[in-house]
Chains A and B, each alone.
Chain A
Amino acid sequence: MSRIAMPVVVAANDLFDGDPVWMTPGGNWSRSLADAEVIGDLAGAEARLAAAMAQADRVVGVYMAEVRPGPFGPVPVDFRERVRARGPAPFALPAQAAE
């Protein structure tokens, strides 16, 4: 894996729901990237990552994702992370029974 550049957020999936979640400044987990703690130094990021990994009873697939500041909170640098934060494209769902 290529070296990660700061700042970063700590990302994971909720163990029970599978939902994408991000670590907040209080060490909790939010389903909104806007709530995530933005970490500017590698040592701090590694410490937060270790703390996240210790929460295996709540989350799965913990990792660091690069971000840059945006008007409404952190914006992922990587395209995959943007898709992950936004959800799937808004395609039409198959027909349901008429109400």
Chain B
Amino acid sequence: MYAYSEFDEDFVRARVRQFRDQVERRIDGRLTEDEFRPLRLMNGLYLQLHAYMLRVAIPYGTLNALQMRQLAMIAERWDRGYGHFTTRQNIQFNWPRLRLVRRGDETGFEVSVGGGLGRTPMLGQVIRDFLPEADLLPYLEAILGVYNRLDRRDNKYKARIKIAVHEIGLETLRDEVEVRFAETRAEFGGADRVLLAGIAGHFAPPAPPDGPETIPPGSPAFHAWCDTNLAAHRRADHAIVTVSLKTPGQAPGDASAWQMRLLADLAERYGHDKIRISHRQNVVLPHMRKADLPTVFAALADAGLAATNAGHLSDIIACPGLDYCALASARSIPVAQQVAQHFEALKIEHEVGPLRLNISGCINACAHHHVAEIGILGLERAGSRLTRSRRVAIRPRMPP
């Protein structure tokens, strides 16, 4: 669990004060929209198709119960009673209002650079076969230093490491990084190792098992859910639970304030007060005792959160698409909804087995459609503004 320091807290509070003042000044006219726009974007406030949208960062995708309850409170008090967990492992609120916003052997690494999805998907390339662990931060800083000098800041679409690698070539980049690494490595003087040890202290290794290592008996629905939505934990008496936010018929990633509070309660009571938001738009309870799973499953089922589909066809990643997003070319959510309902009616999802279906509403690829077995991309067909087309790509099944 990431531990927020006094510095973090002071920083966030100062940022809130500053943004509150900026909103006041926009409303009373001291700031123009042109002046305000970059300020609100830096604070995660976007103007979407139907409303403002507030994006809230969840560092490392990790929450405790208190933080999850606070998100639920925001959803209920300042939005429409639900929030949307995104592929960025964060949450966005799709209906806030500006007036309210203001109140509211040797261990080491193989290092790859230049990978990324988005409108220009590229595979990362290996810049260093082996880097001793102790050199990780100095080496990554050297990469960033070289990139900062080469960066295409003239063009926001090209201001990416992947573009720099593509334009100058891996070999040139590697040579420059090695030169810079040799120059700057000594500057760290071990301070990075001290800092790392401090952070590592917040991630205590799990205690040895002290409970039953088998899953208690239960209904067929419970066992189907266990087979689908659990992953192995380092402790044999624990399991990692994926709570699917993909109930067929609903918008992928949406959770109501009531559901968020229930998840907070479950995490606090049974899960060491730990919650993670996954890039697949699901909520992960990472440390659940196997003995508690029947109780947890029953509580999830009562709350409409026991969809037994993690990693399967209806566990669809879908961006907000044209139903919310000002950048979208086509709708994503209704496609996800229809596909999920269709296959739910056929009851063949588990026969098909694990399968990823990701749906992006435009080339920015928020739903990571490039890396699914079935990727659907929404497009605006030139010359026909009334119809939107979709490109469907089907790839060989990949390892999960």
Contact = CB atoms under 8 A, between A and B. Distances in A.
Interface string A4-48: 000000000101111110000000000000000000000000000
A94 B47 contact: no
A21 B125 CA distance: 48
B98 A91 contact: no
Given A16-B27, A79-B385, A93-B254, A87 B50 contact: yes
A94 B254 contact: yes
Nearest to B332: A89
A61 interface: yes
Contact of A91 (B33, B303, B337): B337
B119 interface: no
Contact of A17 (B98, B305, B334): B98
B334 A91 contact: yes
B98 A16 contact: yes
Contact of A93 (B96, B250, B331, B387): B250
Contacts of A97: 258
Contact of A80 (B81, B245, B249, B322): B322
Nearest to A59: B33
Contact of B47 (A18, A87, A93): A18
Interface string A39-82: 00000000000000000110011000000000000000111100
Question: Which secondary structure dominates where chain A touches chain B?
Answer: loop
A78 B381 CA distance: 12
B51 A94 contact: no
A16 B305 CA distance: 34
B386 interface: yes
A1 interface: no
A12 to B, nearest CB: 10
A94 B97 contact: no
Contacts of A16: 27, 97-99
B323 A89 contact: yes
Contact of B81 (A13, A78, A96): A96
A87 B81 CA distance: 18
B333 interface: yes
Given A18-B97, A79-B385, A88-B324, A93 B82 contact: yes
A1 to B, nearest CB: 13
A77 B50 contact: no
Nearest to A90: B334
Given A60-B47, A79-B386, A84-B49, A15 B98 contact: yes
Contact of B50 (A20, A78, A93): A20
Contacts of B132: none
Contacts of B249: 91-92
A68 to B, nearest CB: 11
Nearest to A95: B304
B322 A83 contact: yes
Interface in B4-47: 26-27, 29, 32-33, 47
Nearest to A78: B385
Contacts of A17: 51-52, 97-99
A96 to B, nearest CB: 5
Interface string B249-261: 1110011101100
Contact of B51 (A18, A57, A79, A89): A18
B342 interface: no
Nearest to A60: B33
Across the A-B interface, give the 8 residue pairs with the lowest CB-CB distance, nearest first: A95-B304, A18-B52, A88-B323, A18-B51, A94-B256, A97-B258, A89-B334, A92-B249
21 contacts: A16-B98, A17-B51, A17-B97, A17-B99, A18-B95, A18-B98, A80-B49, A83-B322, A83-B331, A84-B49, A84-B50, A88-B50, A88-B323, A88-B333, A89-B331, A89-B334, A93-B254, A93-B256, A95-B259, A95-B304, A96-B256
Interface of A: 13, 15-20, 56-57, 60-61, 77-80, 83-84, 87-89, 91-97
